Amino acid sequence: MLEAAIFVILPLCLAMAAFFDILTMKIPNRVSVVLALSFFAVAPFSGMDLATFGWSILAGAAVFTGCFALFALNVMGGGDAKILSATALWYGLNADLVAFLVYTGIFGGGLALIVLVVRANQNILLVSPIPIPMHFFKDRAGIPYGVAIGAAALVTYPETSIFLNALSRPY
């Protein structure tokens, strides 16, 4: 049961965050709360030692601090900051988190280019049969960064220590 939670919770929460972000340009708080609380429920039973648990909390706090600064500068949305912070708990303060953040930046840059192309071609796309939410055509609507966060997690999460430890546990 524990292994199933470790394998499913983070990808499912981040898929939901990406889905909501594409459709509404908002990530519901409940997704970040479920992700964070589930880490605290699962981590003690995953074989994680107390030091690693502490480093994970520090990772979440560090990412939250950086994201809060970006939010205060109006560079990042609040939902993105919260989901990144909750995800950092699962990664811990190590190379896994760095890889996740690097992939998030790479995928976010690609996503920004796609959104810019969509906005530049809005006259063509508005008459096409492709269903594109209208907020993609607004210049100040921002970028649904939850998509980049989710994609980065799907690429990097299978290599994290919490995931690999769950794989190696005997059933």
Model confidence pLDDT, tens digit, residues 105-155: 999 999 999 988 888 888 777 777 877 777 777 777 788 999 999 999 999
CA-CA-CA-CA torsion sign (83, 157, 12, 135): positive
Per-residue pLDDT tens over the stretch 33-59: 999 999 999 988 888 889 999 999 999
pLDDT at 128 (0 to 100): 77
* DSSP H/E element including 34: helix 29-42
* Closest alpha carbon to 77 in 137, 15, 147, 132: 147
Question: Domain map of the chain by residue range?
Answer: 2-168
Q: What is the pTM of this model?
A: 0.89
